[in-house]
Amino acid sequence: MKHKFLSSAIVSATTALLMSSLSFVFADPAHADFNLCNRAAKKYLAAVSWNSRDRGVVSTGWIQLQPGQCSPPILTGSVANVPIGVYGQNTGGGFTTGSDQRCVIQFPTQPSWTLIGSDQRSRCTGKGRVMVGFDVVRPAGSNFTYELFD
């Protein structure tokens, strides 16, 4: 049990650090947030990708959403015209996909992860890593909620 607690603490600390650093990636006087909402009847696992000015394409997951649940802002600051990709899978076998290929680490191999350079197939090697299609949106400048459906 001690090992499991330590792993949970590390995952929680890593997630908190990631979420706080994302606000600086998009720092800008114009403010808009990006979040996800699960409109499906089943639990959703989602991954989000974006272009970071200094690190290239970054992907992170798994954001776990119960039916009807919305995430807190995943990206904050100015997200206007920033290409943001979403990939999701629900426990009923449904998927949200697109044509923009990014690397993810399959659940439950790693329940919380961040990949730098996730658009590069050469960086998608190792246990549980697979290229999947992300649906890419470009928010128009106001708060943007991406909705996941069955």
Helix and strand numbers (H, E) in the chain are 1, 9
Give the predicted TM-score (pTM) of the model. 0.78
Judged by DSSP in three states, 88 sits in strand
The per-residue pLDDT for range 94-129, each reduced to its tens digit, is 889 999 999 999 988 889 999 999 999 999 999 999
Say how far apart CA 30 and CA 16 lie, in whole Å.
23
> pLDDT averaged over consecutive 10-residue blocks of the chain (150 residues)?
33 37 38 88 96 92 97 88 93 91 92 95 94 94 87
Compute φ and ψ for 96, nearest 5 degrees: -115, 115
Q: What is the pLDDT of residue 31?
A: 53
Say how far apart CA 60 and CA 112 lie, in whole Å.
8
